[in-house]
Amino acid sequence: MLICALDYKKTKNPLTCSRDGKNMYDMAKKCGFSDLQAMYNEDCTKPAVKAAISQMGKRCGQNDYFVFYYSGHGTEVRDTNGDEKDGFDEAFCFVTPAGQVDRSSLLTDDEFVDTILNDIPPKTNILVLADCCHSGTIVDLHKKTWAQRRAIAIVGCTDQQTSGDIGLGGIFTHSMLMAMEKLGEQEHYSVGKLYNTTVKENDRIFHGKQSITLDCSSPISPNQMPWPFVPLSRFGPYLSPLRSAKNAIQRFHLKPVAGPSGVKTRDIDIGDYKDVPDDLANWAKQNDIDLGSDYEDEELENGWKPGKKLLDSMGF
């Protein structure tokens, strides 16, 4: 698994995507992923990311999974080879060594696909997870170049949309990790089921302002590929970052502290409890989010009707 997460602190448009990257890294470790590489901020130049994909591809074999996770800015640039219906290529916004974004640092969907197809072995399962704007077809899995590959992409929005965040990580990533928590009692389930649950979590918690999108290559359907992240039993049930924050608030709403006039109470410093960051806990408290289960598992069929309906509406 290769994780790329950028905060763009040296630009005029900073984000909080390193939080997403660290949340995904922690989750993958709890699932037993050992071949795991995380790249943050200025490490994420286009040449460095392409080299990391190539190096990881050399270690992939038949029936392995190559998972690419990206959290950062996404953009569109003018299509130059005529393969895009809307006239625009989608692109990941990597950075220059100085931490800036310019045309040379963008990795377009065409370049990304070429890198994956050239460097990842043909019999390896490919899963792309992208929390960025204009990402609906950022992997172009409907194209004939993918006809012999088993690949699925789940991304934060359509090509025409922006992918929101809460200032403490991306909505898509938080929804996906909440979906994993929801399905945690099941040892195995499909990518399609994870996708459906992610859509429900986005609608339930964040009110669905972006259309989380799924695309797949022709040899595979979402309910045929197992979701590769299965938490190891020794770590106990998986709790998403939002759940951890909410639980901490509910358990320790007030905490005694010593002051100049004696013992007083204050709102819990969530940083004192299981490393849940203060700002994430405060966000959960201020928004009074309901993380309880308000739907049953049988509603989460091993299919992908929301995604198929969306793709059909886009003409794919």
CATH number (domain holding residue 13): 3.40.50.1460
Percent of the chain at pLDDT exceeding 90: 48
C-alpha 97/C-alpha 92 separation (Å) is 16
29-38, 70-79, 280-289: least confident range: 280-289
Number of structural domains found in the chain: 2
Q: Are residues 104 and 135 in the same domain?
A: yes
Q: Which has the higher per-residue pLDDT, 260 or 281?
A: 281
Q: Looking at residue 48, what is its pLDDT? A: 98
Q: Are residues 299 and 272 in the same domain?
A: no
Residue 259 pLDDT > 90, yes or no?
no
Q: Are residues 175 and 259 in the same domain?
A: no
51 pLDDT band, cuts 50/70/90, is very high
Average pLDDT over the chain, rounded to an integer: 82
Q: Are residues 41 and 139 in the same domain?
A: yes
Q: Are residues 128 and 11 in the same domain?
A: yes
Residue 248 pLDDT > 70, yes or no?
no
Q: Looking at residue 85, what is its pLDDT? A: 66
What residues make up the domain containing 246?
Answer: 241-286
* CA distances from residue 230 to 103, 205, 253 in whole angstroms, order as listed: 38, 23, 32
* Residue 14: CB atoms within 10 Å: 11
Q: Are residues 265 and 149 in the same domain?
A: no
- pTM for this prediction: 0.83
Mean pLDDT of 53-71: 95
**DSSP annotation string for 23-91:** HHHHHHHHTT--S-EEEEGGG--HHHHHHHHHHHHTT--TT-EEEEEEES-EEEEE-SSS--TTSEEEE
Q: Are residues 44 and 8 in the same domain?
A: yes
Mean pLDDT of 48-66: 95
Contact 70/40 with Cβ under 8 angstroms? no
Mean pLDDT of 291-295: 54
25-29, 152-156, 204-208, 274-278: least confident range: 274-278
Place of tokens 């309880």: 292
Q: Are residues 28 and 110 in the same domain?
A: yes
Q: Which has the higher per-residue pLDDT, 135 or 41?
A: 41
Q: Are residues 229 and 262 in the same domain?
A: no
Closest alpha carbon to 146 in 135, 157, 137, 136: 137
60-64, 76-80, 88-92, 115-119: least confident range: 76-80
Q: Are residues 200 and 281 in the same domain?
A: no
Q: Are residues 75 and 130 in the same domain?
A: yes
Q: Are residues 300 and 282 in the same domain?
A: no
Residue 152 pLDDT > 50, yes or no?
yes
C-alpha 240/C-alpha 251 separation (Å) is 16
Mean pLDDT of 4-33: 95
C-alpha 35/C-alpha 32 separation (Å) is 9
Mean pLDDT of 128-153: 92
Place of tokens 């690419």: 68
